[in-house]
Structure 1
Amino acid sequence: MDRRKFFKKGTLLAAGGALLGNPISGLATTMEYDLSAKGKRAKNIIFMVSDGMSTGTLALSDHFQNHILGHRSVWMSAYIDNKVTRGLMETSSASSIVTDSSAGSSSFGGGVRVPNGSLNVGANGEKYLPIWQKMKRKGKKIGVVTTVTATHATPAGFNVNNNSRYAEPQIAIDYLNLGLDVVMGGGDEFFNGDKREDKKDLYKAFAEKGYAIAKNSSELKKTGKNQPILGIFNEGALPYQLDRENTPELKANIPSLAEMAKKAIEHLNTGKEGFALQIESGKVDWAAHANDLGGLLFEQIQFDEALKVALEFAEKDGETLVIFTTDHGNANPGLIYGKNADKDFETVAKYKYTNEWILNQIDNSFSPNAVRDLVQANLGFEITSSEAHKILGYYSNIQKEEQGLYNYKHLPYEGFANMQKKHSSVGWISMDHSSDHVEVAAFGPGKELLKPFVKNTDLHYLMLQAAQIENKF
């Protein structure tokens, strides 16, 4: 190929997008979707999303596991062992170069970019059939597993059409009507008749359709393989993995992502036509919004443990395509150069709880010394008296402000993260989504379809082609 023509073509594509009023239309080509050249069919598909995972998050997780726990991350081991096809993915939505989770998931789910905030509904009301519905119509069992609310943007994007990602009470009803075979995560408020505005008892409605209802780890373990499962384990999102590990009651009652993934696969694998399962570590994104280092690292490690479950199953099964990626970057954390960077980062091993947990313990009754003691006991480093006074100022409304998207109690996430940076050598560029080109990898039949650089929408058609399903619905 003539090098000058190659670059000229790329420039014209980008310029063409701008001229048409769509800043992202020309940034990547569309995947070729061709069933004529059939390879081995993927009977099952497991699509895994570490929501909001910047490449810096992936690196920090691998550094922590490699240098402190003594082994590489599962994600990086798959690269090192050359077991996967790997690419970079552009994550834009129809309305912005920077996507939100609903538009990001809809790109995978509907195969078309939609505006931020929407679930498989275009700017003019066009509805795009979500991929798990396509799989269901072909006889496959379908399911979603997440660490946030089961009706949140990422799981919903594979299943429903709605103008708003925030219509979670309706999305819960949609799951019932669509007949998802496995639904696991948080969000009791969207299924519990005592908490829903319309007073509909969706637990009862699911049970009447034959679902096993699980509200804790013990009940989940008792579910059989021959019943669909609704597992809702908390109001709101599930607790952070770091907090769960160090709180006996939470560890006993709330399953980990890996435990939910294993149970979901066991149930779904009973279908004659195979299955399609989405697994999401949703609180990677929440921790990034909060610049919560302990939360971020251990949520990414929790994703890694679930990835291990999926890859081990797929390797043994031989008929399962596993795709693992993220929907977008968030906050772009990184270990910053300095003579003490290694030593500082090792202090994360002393963390017992997340910043969220620690800041939730503080109230106006605390003295500065009590704040200092709380931080020392649970994060292993000392803050100054001045810093303790500054933290307490947020609780007396002196400097109360919004810090982080999922910060419902207006806790001083950003201020505390800036103090923490001196001790961890980890910095952040923001508290919000970013436009990173992100990692995507594939294992199993169909992995050869993944190209070095793809659009997020390409993964929709990759899954259909790997499963050898014609896109006629």
Structure 2
Amino acid sequence: MRKDSKKGIILAVLILLAGMQDFAQSVIMLIPDGMSVAGTTLARFYKGAPLALDPIACGLVSTWSSDGTIADSAPAGSSYATGWASQTGNIATIGKSYVLPGVEIPDYEAQRPVATILEAARLSGRSTGIISTSEFMHATPADFSAHDPSRSNYDNLAEQIAYNGIDVVLGGGTPYLNADKRKDKEDLKAIIDANGYTFVDNTAALKSAPDGKLFGVFGKDKSATAMSYDIDRDPAVEPSLAEMTAKAIEILSANKKGFFLMVEGSKVDWAAHANDPVAFVTDILAFDDAVKVALDFAKQDGNTVVIAVTDHGNSGISIGDRSISSGYDKTPWTTFIDPLKKAKVTGEGLEAKLASLIKVDGTYEPSEAPVIRQTVARYLGITDLTDAEVEAIGKTKAGSMNYTVGPMVAGRAKIGYTTNGHTGEDVVLYCYDPFDKRITGLVRNTDVALYMASTLNVDLGQATSRLFQDAASMFAKKGATVSMDTTDPENPVLVVTKADQTLRVPRNKSYAYLNGKAIASDGVAVYNGTKWYVAKNLIDLID
């Protein structure tokens, strides 16, 4: 499998330019999922001071996927991670459809895994890490650390992350560790322990964790799939994004060869989907605090590049809505901010305060109205709820309160929205490069991956060749027979036989067995439903 020649030329030019200076030892990439320019403007007003992001703004990024103007997070993150555009649902995997004008068509076959910048960094001897406030196997963190045609295959993605040699993994997702919640019935917590990680699940344990591999999974309780919004979290139970970033840097920077770290402010996107401006702005500020941690380290270190960029827009948020179509120029800035500052929680946080009233089926009793009014006044600062709004809150089904009260706050703050979905506008690129070679202007999302690869002096195409060989084709060239053991359908095993050699390769894992002896693989084995892809060092085991 060869790299696309055009992509190879672009990468070579970027490496040549970077060669005018030393290559960076480390890259920290921070992704505020679903953020927009209106969001950073509101956050700046809310904070009353500049953002850490402000001085490093340097360009724009087009966020299209291979088949659409408005990207899903999976292909959007994959573009940043692999340098290849992909399509909805794909995690670090080549898509089937490349129809958008100007999109680069890969020579790779559809649905095959391609190496990520994190994996290429690991192969170069660097340490690696991923951080998110969503489940740790959610689309964006998975884009850098796992491979599957579908972002929904959480079992596969989580298992690959646990086996992919990543030094630091921090995020939400506690329920997905339990064997009884997984189709393959694997105890992921036991696997994490066996793979040499220190496991932590609260802030104090995170801060006191020793050097070495670290796996942290957090949530307000053991049933929480993701971490809380920053304004809602209990600081003793759930660390901030900045605290997780600081700990990851502390551990990863011990490697003299450098590191790659991806940090996602995941729930900026979720807040935008819900049109909840309180959650949106406060999580942007929490993300900006993490950016400051990264920049402070990079400036002191002198050999670390920091990149911050969202993967796509979301919600069409605007400062000003249709109610001020006339008189917008006479509307003071406090109109947009004061209603947000009155809130002590997000819609999700309010739901927790109303837990005794909120029902799965959304049933509502008028007798609940006084409690709803009192609770909303106390925690959102809204004292003029209409009867219809009270009823809407009372009828909200569990897990949906952001979608109900977010627009209520937004309406009072004159903040507009056009959708509950993603949007297709270009997004702001932020970059700090100590060698003054930062990427600028209007670029494609795939260009960001190429810039990081050149910065770290790694080759994504070579990493793909080393990690993901077409098993059936390559073993056949050696005269071996390939079959699949599906005795356990959820844990299939690739079986390769030739003469007196039998190689067994379990799906999603980074080891194999040659005649019963365990052999380490350079990467995880990926089965995409039709084909197996394995590391070259496993291919080389067969004579």
Q: How does 1:133-212 map to 2 (within 5 A)?
A: 133-212=119-198
Corresponding residue of 2:531: none
Corresponding residue of 1:103: 75
Structure 1 pair 435/30, CA: closer, same or farther in 2 (3 Å)? farther
Corresponding residue of 2:392: 391
Corresponding residue of 2:467: none
Corresponding residue of 1:128: 114
Look up the SS of the partner of 1:252 in the other structure: coil
Corresponding residue of 1:350: 342
Alpha carbons 1:130, 1:158 under 8 Å: kept = yes
Corresponding residue of 1:307: 291
Look up the SS of the partner of 1:56 in the other structure: helix
Distance 1:31 1:341 in 2: 48
Distance 2:449 2:252 in 1: 20
Cα displacement string for residues 360-401 of structure 1 (whole angstroms, at most 9, x for unaligned residues): 514335532322222111111223342344415634xxxx7x
Shift of 1:446: 5.3
Shift of 1:196: 2.6
Structure 1 pair 421/208, CA: closer, same or farther in 2 (3 Å)? closer
2:14 to 17, 24, 34: 34
Distance 1:32 1:285 in 2: 34
Corresponding residue of 2:499: none
Alpha carbons 1:33, 1:461 under 8 Å: kept = no
Corresponding residue of 1:369: 370
Q: Which runs of 5+ in 1 are unaligned?
A: 1-28, 79-83, 245-249, 401-408
Structure 1 pair 367/209, CA: closer, same or farther in 2 (3 Å)? closer
Greater Cα radius of gyration, structure 1 or 2: 2
TM-score by length of 1: 0.84
Shift of 1:469: 2.3
Distance 1:308 1:193 in 2: 38
Shift of 1:224: 1.0
Distance 1:415 1:352 in 2: 16
Alpha carbons 2:315, 2:423 under 8 Å: kept = yes
TM-score by length of 2: 0.73
Q: Which runs of 5+ in 2 are unaligned?
A: 1-8, 97-109, 321-327, 359-363, 464-543
Distance 1:393 1:216 in 2: 33
Any runs of at least 4 consecutive aligned residues in structure 1 with deviations exceeding 6 A, and if so which? 29-32
Structure 1 pair 415/444, CA: closer, same or farther in 2 (3 Å)? same
Structure 1 pair 213/359, CA: closer, same or farther in 2 (3 Å)? closer
Look up the SS of the partner of 2:306 in the other structure: strand
Alpha carbons 1:31, 1:458 under 8 Å: kept = no
Distance 2:385 2:27 in 1: 51
What is the aligned-residue RMSD (CA, Å)? Answer: 2.0
Alpha carbons 2:372, 2:394 under 8 Å: kept = no
Structure 1 pair 389/205, CA: closer, same or farther in 2 (3 Å)? closer
Corresponding residue of 1:47: 29
Shift of 1:340: 4.5
Structure 1 pair 325/236, CA: closer, same or farther in 2 (3 Å)? same
Alpha carbons 1:189, 1:196 under 8 Å: kept = no
Cα displacement string for residues 155-203 of structure 1 (whole angstroms, at most 9, x for unaligned residues): 1111222101111221111012211100000001222234333332222
Residue 399 of structure 2 corresponds to residue 427 of structure 1: no
Shift of 1:417: 3.4
Shift of 1:144: 0.2
Cα displacement string for residues 201-223 of structure 1 (whole angstroms, at most 9, x for unaligned residues): 22221212211000111211221
Corresponding residue of 1:237: 226
Distance 1:381 1:138 in 2: 54
Alpha carbons 1:153, 1:165 under 8 Å: kept = yes
Look up the SS of the partner of 2:34 in the other structure: coil
Alpha carbons 2:37, 2:427 under 8 Å: kept = yes
Cα displacement string for residues 58-93 of structure 1 (whole angstroms, at most 9, x for unaligned residues): 111111112xxxx212112x2xxxxx3601000000
Distance 1:156 1:415 in 2: 30
Look up the SS of the partner of 2:16 in the other structure: coil
Distance 1:193 1:425 in 2: 47
Distance 1:187 1:415 in 2: 25
Corresponding residue of 1:11: none
Query: Percent identity, aligned pairs only?
Result: 30
Structure 1 pair 30/332, CA: closer, same or farther in 2 (3 Å)? farther
Q: Which AA in structure 1 matches 2:151? A: R
Corresponding residue of 2:527: none
The structure carrying a bigger helix percent of its residues is: 1
1:60 to 24, 42, 45: 42
Distance 2:269 2:15 in 1: 36
Distance 1:150 1:171 in 2: 9
Structure 1 pair 306/392, CA: closer, same or farther in 2 (3 Å)? closer
Cα displacement string for residues 388-416 of structure 1 (whole angstroms, at most 9, x for unaligned residues): 44415634xxxx7xxxxxxxx36364453
Look up the SS of the partner of 2:131 in the other structure: strand
Q: Which AA in structure 1 matches 2:279? A: G
1:275 to 259, 276, 279: 259
Cα displacement string for residues 9-62 of structure 1 (whole angstroms, at most 9, x for unaligned residues): xxxxxxxxxxxxxxxxxxxx9777432341231100000000000111111111
Cα displacement string for residues 411-453 of structure 1 (whole angstroms, at most 9, x for unaligned residues): 3644533432342121211111000100011102455240211
Residue 309 of structure 2 corresponds to residue 328 of structure 1: no
Residue 455 of structure 2 corresponds to residue 466 of structure 1: yes
Q: Which AA in structure 2 matches 1:101? A: S
Alpha carbons 1:131, 1:159 under 8 Å: kept = no
Q: Which moved more, 1:55-64 or 1:138-147?
A: 55-64
Distance 1:89 1:313 in 2: 25
Distance 2:338 2:160 in 1: 46
Q: Which moved more, 1:462-471 or 1:416-425?
A: 416-425
Corresponding residue of 1:223: 209
